[in-house]
Amino acid sequence: MNWRPHITTDPKILYGKPTIKGTRISVDLIIDKLATGESFEYLLSAYPHITLEQIYVCLAYAADQIRHEEAISTRA
């Protein structure tokens, strides 16, 4: 999924955090909510101005960012 048309950064909005285009909803907010067990249905009701596609776009953006990170050892 091509997230680029759907995610934007603007230093004037949430200090430049990646957000869903046309909103003040950050990608990390959506990812955090999903990571803590919130459902897609909950997100759609809590944020009625976003779509299911935009939630998937947030996941695609996160996956793309991780894909391009430098690997870090997690050994203690």
Task: Give the CATH number of the domain where residue 27 resides.
Answer: 1.10.10.10
DSSP the chain: ---TTTEE-BTTBGGG--EETTSS-BHHHHHHHHHTT--HHHHHHHSTTS-HHHHHHHHHHHHHHHHTSPP-----
Residue 30 tokens read as: 């959506």
How much is the average pLDDT of 36-53? Answer: 97
Contact 18, 30 (CB under 8 A): no
Q: In this structure, is residue 12 part of a structural domain?
A: yes
Structural domain of 44:
7-67
Q: In this structure, is residue 2 part of a structural domain?
A: no
Distance CA 45, CA 17 (A): 23
pLDDT reading at 52 higher than 90: yes
Q: In this structure, is residue 33 part of a structural domain?
A: yes
Q: In this structure, is residue 73 part of a structural domain?
A: no
Q: In this structure, is residue 25 part of a structural domain?
A: yes
pLDDT reading at 76 higher than 80: no
Q: Determine the pLDDT at residue 68.
A: 82
Structural domain tally of the chain? 1
pLDDT reading at 64 higher than 80: yes
Percent pLDDT > 70 in the chain is 96
Q: In this structure, is residue 50 part of a structural domain?
A: yes
- Mean per-residue pLDDT of the chain: 93
Instruction: Place 74 in a pLDDT band, splitting at 50, 70 and 90.
Output: confident
